[in-house]
Amino acid sequence: MRLRWGGGGLGFLVILLGASPAWTTNFCMNNIHPLDQQFDPRSLIRIASDDDVEVVRAGLVHEIWRGTGFPTDFPDTVTENAPSALGIDTDSLPNLLRVDRLEAHLGSGFHSVVDYFLPIDGNGRLIVLHQGHFSDFAAGRVDETLTVLLEEGFAVLGLAMPGYPPNSGPTAGHNELVNFATGRFNPMRLFLDPVALSLNHALKAHQYTDVSMTGLSGGGWTTTLYAAIDTRVSVSVPVAGSLPIYLRYGPCGFSSDWEQTEESIYVDQASYLDLYLMGSAGSGRKRVQILNQFDGCCFWGLGYQTYQPAMIEAMQRLSHGTYEVYLNTTAAGEHSISKNAQVSLLRALGRPVFVVDSVYEDSVTHGPGWGMSPSSAYDRHQRQAVYENRESLFVYHLRDLPPGIYRVATTWLEGENRAQNAAFSMWDAETPRLEVRLDQREAPDDFSFQSARWKELGEVEVRSGLLHVELNGMANGMVVAGTIFAERIGNIPFVGEPDPDGDGISSDGSGSGVAGDALCDGREPGQCDDNCPEVFNPLQTDRDFDGIGDACDNCTGNSNPDQSDVDTDGLGDVCDNCVEISNPWQIDADLDDFGNVCDADYDQDGIVGASDFVVLRAAFANARTSESFIEPIVDHDGDGVIGVSDFARFRALFGREPGPSAFTDIHRLQLWAFPDLDGDGVPLDGDRSGIVGDLTCDESNLEGCDDNCPKIYNPDQFDADGDGVGDLCDSCIERENASQVDSDADGYGNACDADFNNDWFVGAEDFSTFRSAFILGANSELVEPIVDMNADGAIGAVDFSLFISGMRNGIPGPSGLDCAGSIPCN
């Protein structure tokens, strides 16, 4: 298991960035502060692989539940068909069968109450809806969100924060919760236990196909943390709930409660970026982080853009999962799940809907004469064309639509003075699709969505990803520009064989009508095109992400979308050790990255000359007298015999440099003189001293030095602790241990392994072992080697310091070895 840890505590971040009130909220909402841009978010990411996700998750569980494990029990009482404890008028809720009340005693005097909303016509799906730091669901449009979810057929678990109604406890002040901490009770579980217990009950009582979670503000924070831990939550959509701590404490930052900045969680266990990754990682799992650019409370602005690239890179290292950020630019001044955010939530949950209101200035354009009215059927907004400007256009722009067939609709407020021939036209980018006229004197009445009534304009084909809907003011009455709705209802008809290889993945799985324009990559098959349409490959694996599946890629380890293969030997040029001469077996007897078929430079002086001919002649003579031994480097055709064909090949190569090979370019040293066993471009003996490892590379020096992990591909040569051993093969990434002593062979070097009993936790039993060894001191013959943490043969002050550090970490490591945690780790 490989684990990377970011360094630095909260205090360091405060000193580095400073929280200055001099920068106005307006500036921070519209700009990224230069100091925030200087911070490198990659330093906060511990997770570098699927294994790391499990390791960090286990650490979180251990810290929060203090050894008792993730909750498997149930609420203490369940009351069916109860009034809403959250104070919701259930008579006004659509599609509601009943409300069950779930109650639990959480310890330390805290009590939780959860409303379990069961729909009449259910879709078989369950979602957790957390209201956060509000006293009731009416605030922040959480009640509207509940209505939308019930309309869609979801069963809903409604929750509030600890101490907030209907919950109770000794305090509602979250900064005071730290006072309830003991060695066996972490107050952080007060936020998570109600979710876990309620889910345990709901999943036992009913069969659901999947579980999702969303919440606002503190509810968004709860969603962020809980979904990182509980993999039963497949889709998590936190709204205005968190930002990494360097942005909270930065010059555009804001105050936060204890639970959102506690160092024992976000520094010692998992940064917010790790939590985002953990909530995203896994087959079929997705996290969509919704942030309000102009939020009236917190988490505003564009700061997410500083960490988004690092998150994209980190997600590419994981096998499965999706992470997205949606920036809501509407509902200025609100701290809410706006109508626009509700649509994004539904889209994350799988309903492909897109909505543009006439007030969204970044998504509409219009000519003069369109006045604003204070109310509408959708979200308190509408535009009206005055009679003097009937030729003025109002155009909606729906961007980033997945290709497909869309049902398009609109809503408006009817009236006697409205036009009876309001003219709508729809365009797929520059391609006209449909025109229709509507009578706006009558109310729209085709269907309901988000508590509004809608009128269908028709079905249109969108290939470009951009749908324009134009409304012309030229009509016989007042024209109303309300809101436009678009929902993807099908694929564009594809001309050709849909699945020629029969692997279940369509050549046009995206439904765009064009095969190969949205290729799968093996992480989330979903709506994507077969990346090997003629070769059976249901997993769609594409390790180098070049758009060509491994099953038909002529070079699976290096991106080569053009699949160039000059010598037609089935190996792409970018991974062929003899680019111009066919050699499908890639025999390379001297391990210099030049295949035998194009390498007659036996003495590795860079040129095929007379001295090489002497070697060939001797090998040829020896082969004729003794077939039991041949020189492998002289066997150019790889047939096990030195013969005429090898002489012919030598003659063709005479006077030339070896190659050409894909593994040599201007950035690499002469590998024929100094081999590179792992093919990462860093030679074994890059300083040409004749001694491997006497001058190792690091991330700041990659030339004229030796590979610090000679058997593991690591072109970046990262060496966090500067001990000359690269991170990817270092048994202690953050502790200098050049000797790599690992007495218990568990993959964690003695210097960072205070877990002497190998139970994956540094605790009382380990302390007892160390104390006994420390008393013996220098009597090394009586001391277990695993306790000698600095490997000097005695137990002294340095070992004591290392052990205390290990206790703070709580677990061994971090280690760069893939096998860390298993014994023996070879």
CA torsion, ordered 420, 421, 427, 433, to nearest 10 deg: 110
Model pLDDT, residue 20? 37
Output the pTM of the full model: 0.71
Model pLDDT, residue 534? 93
Model pLDDT, residue 643? 85
Give yes or no for residue 259 having a pLDDT over 60: yes
Model pLDDT, residue 523? 76
Model pLDDT, residue 386? 63
Other CB atoms within 10 Å distance of the CB of residue 42: 15
Q: How far apart (Å, rounded) are the C-alpha atoms in residues 320 and 313?
A: 13
Give yes or no for residue 374 having a pLDDT over 80: no
Q: Comparing 233-237, 569-573, 667-671, which segment has the lowest mean pLDDT?
A: 667-671
Sequential DSSP letters for 296-335: SSSS-SSGGGGTHHHHHHHHHTSSSBEEEEEEE--STT--
Write the pLDDT tens digit of every residue in 446-497: 999 998 999 999 999 999 999 999 998 888 888 999 999 999 999 999 888 8
Write the pLDDT tens digit of every residue in 666-705: 223 333 334 676 778 888 878 776 566 788 999 988 888 8
Q: How far apart (Å, rounded) are the C-alpha atoms in residues 227 and 213?
A: 8
Give yes or no for residue 306 having a pLDDT over 80: yes
Number of separate helices (H) and strands (E) present in the chain: 16, 22
Write the pLDDT tens digit of every residue in 516-530: 989 998 877 678 999
Q: Which distant-in-sequence residues (6+ apart) come within 8 Å of 453 by Cβ?
A: 377, 411, 443, 444, 445, 446, 447
Q: Amino acid identity, residue 240?
A: A
CA torsion, ordered 69, 70, 73, 74, to nearest 10 deg: 160
Write the pLDDT tens digit of every residue in 392-415: 899 999 999 999 999 999 999 999
Write the pLDDT tens digit of every residue in 193-202: 999 999 999 9
CA-wise closest residue to 489 among 608, 371, 407: 407
Q: Cα 345–351–357 angle (5° rounding)?
A: 65
Q: How high is the mean pLDDT of the chain?
A: 87
Contact 467, 371 (CB under 8 A): no
